[in-house]
Chain A
Amino acid sequence: MERILRVNMTDRTASFEPVPETYRNRAGRWMTSSLVHDEVSPTCHPLGPNNKVIFSPGIVTGTASPTSSRISVGGKSPLTGGIKESNSGTGLGRRLARLGIRALVIEGQPKEKGFWLLKIDAKGAAIEPADAWAGKRLSEVYPALFARFGGKGKVDVCSIGIAGELRMAAAGVCFNDQEGRPSRYAGRGGLGAVLGSKGLKAIVVDDSGAKEVPLADKPTFEQGRKKLADALGEHAITKPKGALNSYGTAVLVNILNEAGGLPTRNFHEGRFEGAAKIAGEAIFAGNKERTGAEVYNHACSPGCVIRCSNTWHRPDGSEHTSCIEYESDWAFGANCGIDNLDQIAELNLLCNDFGLDTIEIGGTLAVAAEGGVWRFGDGVRAIELLHEIGKGTPLGRILGNGAVVTGRTFGVCRVPHVKGQNMPAYEPRAIKGIGMTYAVSPMGADHTAGYTIAPEILGVSGKLDPLNPDKAELARNFQYATAFVDSTGHCLFIAFAILDIASGFEGTVEECNGVLGTAWTMADVARIGKEILDLERDFNRDAGFTAQDDRLPEFMRSEPLPPHNTVWDIADVELDRVFGA
């Protein structure tokens, strides 16, 4: 039977309950946003006892469906003050799904100081002290936890790092990849700090003895699974040795640079002179030179056929870090003016080790450089600043609380954020649809809320001019479709294939029907997506957000961005039109 597992951190008790009928078909983001909407007071302090952290694997997670091992993490964000859903690829969600756990709710708050560990297996859930694991780098914690609990093939681990323990608003929630590396993150929005506020250091899930995820209609599931697998295998972006498998997501560096939309040195320019030195192609070439072999990318989580997760190797050929995603590469590279991949790799590694969101921290360093804390391009100093965060020094705690806090501390008015969350790696003045998405997403500035880059830049699912301002409908439709995909348990990257290959999208819906016994059609995708966005926008409204929060920063309206020398010129009424009044 499908269950919800509640863990009360006030008295460290755990209990199971059936999934209520109203939540019967909800999973992933649909589940986390529903529970946050229904159970968390919108006005609560994000780090207080009334906030909750919800984990939920997607609808098809744990089945044989390809690229479906995502887990959603939700709560009220200490970074934005609004609702948050952040998701990650990991085997942990599969194990939860196989144990019949549709949602894991972490609630309450201990009165005493300390950290605890939650162990979940077929027998139930147990909580034990975890102070021994606190204060350590995650590259030490994960191997130790695997050794203690039976190995990386037997369990998967979720943990916060030092940043979460210190309740920093840029703290992410870390999961391991298939090699056991602490490298996969539900990074955005500071949910690691919320776990830290509840004293929950780590979660270990062992699904030994669990049954297969039940299928209500196996033939329909199989039909859908095959359609999706065929689409992923056929599409040039997602197929084996296609762009994502060869060069990783960082292949985008050169594209955005050519398009004039690669934010550089805290969003002062749209092109970075060092782009070619940090791009995915340079990572591929550097690895080949240093290891003597072509290094193709690996799957971050079980069952992924896209396999886009990269590694970067030191001059002696040993592995330095995984994974240098496009966003991380950009955040520490172009946005900090650093063109040295070894320094970018070290910054990436330190974020993974301290439990930090790379996008927020890269953006924060850029704001700090603007405030005179260090000089753009000085990678050695940037690494020292990351260590300040890891040591929890006063400067480190300012930086660890993100770009807005850092900008306020150092008197910087150019902070590229929406709702307190720093913008990711696409410049809104050069790409209008993604700017509209940043503005109106309930998550704050978030490219994954509706990846309009696909039609605006990549020529996927249409060919639109990025500078054309008429994008309200696009921003709306992409957010609805994305909220649905985020609920299926699929990685958002399946969108590249299913937006171009209609049978792949049909297959995705059929898989859900096969698991749930529903009769959804393509029309239900937008209906469900809208329902999720409505829940999230309701929560934010009740938390105090207004239309004035659905705006980009003032400086973008007046500062032309080279090379196009365009400003943010979308009227506020256009932004309000995305979701209507």
Chain B
Amino acid sequence: MSIEVRLHGTLAATRPGLRAGDPFPVELSGDATVADLVAALTLAPEDAHLVIVNGRILHDRAAVLAEGDRVGLFPPTGGG
């Protein structure tokens, strides 16, 4: 299945030429989880501190993804 991924903050810098927030597709097997996606992106689990799937914040890394999901990955971040 194809997942629409956006990397933010320092995570975007792991892919040369990628602008933070610009979407790109990632192909995964049908039962892939959030943890599988993080691994496929060669990110350390702790670096993907915040995972937002279709606008909902997912804290469960074992959650199963679905075809066409929009996934945003963020390092630890604050502001205000």
Q: How large is the interface on B (under 10, 10 to 19, 20 to 34, 35 or more residues)?
A: 20 to 34
CB < 8 Å: which of B20, B54, B57 contacts A465?
A: B57
Task: Kindly state whether residue A282 has any CB partner on chain B within 8 Å.
Answer: yes
Task: Kindly state whether residue A246 has any CB partner on chain B within 8 Å.
Answer: yes
The CA of A448 and the CA of B80, in the complex, are separated in Å by: 8
Asked if A258 and B77 make an inter-chain contact with CB atoms under 8 angstroms apart, the answer reads no
Task: Kindly state whether residue A266 has any CB partner on chain B within 8 Å.
Answer: no
Residues of A within 8 A of B8 (CB): 251, 254-255, 258, 279, 281
Asked if B9 and A251 make an inter-chain contact with CB atoms under 8 angstroms apart, the answer reads yes
**Closest-CB distance, A300 to chain B (whole angstroms):** 14
Considering only residues 40-78 of chain B, those with a C-beta below 8 Å from chain A are 49-50, 52, 54-57, 59, 70, 72, 74-78
Task: Kindly state whether residue B19 has any CB partner on chain A within 8 Å.
Answer: yes
Residues of A within 8 A of B52 (CB): 255, 258-259
Q: How large is the interface on A (under 10, 10 to 19, 20 to 34, 35 or more residues)?
A: 35 or more
**Closest-CB distance, B3 to chain A (whole angstroms):** 14
Q: Main SS of the interface on chain B?
A: loop
Considering only residues 20-38 of chain B, those with a C-beta below 8 Å from chain A are 20-22
Asked if B78 and A454 make an inter-chain contact with CB atoms under 8 angstroms apart, the answer reads yes
**Closest-CB distance, A500 to chain B (whole angstroms):** 10
CB < 8 Å: which of A238, A257, A260 contacts B78?
A: A238
Asked if A259 and B57 make an inter-chain contact with CB atoms under 8 angstroms apart, the answer reads yes
Residues of A within 8 A of B56 (CB): 465, 467
The CA of A237 and the CA of B78, in the complex, are separated in Å by: 6
Most buried by B among A243, A246, A258, A276: A258
Asked if A276 and B9 make an inter-chain contact with CB atoms under 8 angstroms apart, the answer reads no
Asked if A252 and B77 make an inter-chain contact with CB atoms under 8 angstroms apart, the answer reads yes
Q: What 4 additional pairs, Cβ within 8 angstroms, besides A235-B76, A250-B79, A465-B57?
A: A236-B76, A243-B10, A259-B52, A563-B55
23 contacts between A and B (CB under 8 A): A238-B78, A251-B77, A251-B78, A252-B79, A254-B8, A254-B74, A255-B8, A255-B50, A255-B52, A257-B21, A258-B70, A258-B74, A275-B21, A276-B21, A279-B8, A281-B12, A282-B21, A448-B80, A454-B78, A459-B57, A493-B80, A563-B54, A564-B55
Which residues of B does A touch, CB under 8 Å? 6, 8-10, 12, 19-22, 49-50, 52, 54-57, 59, 70, 72, 74-80
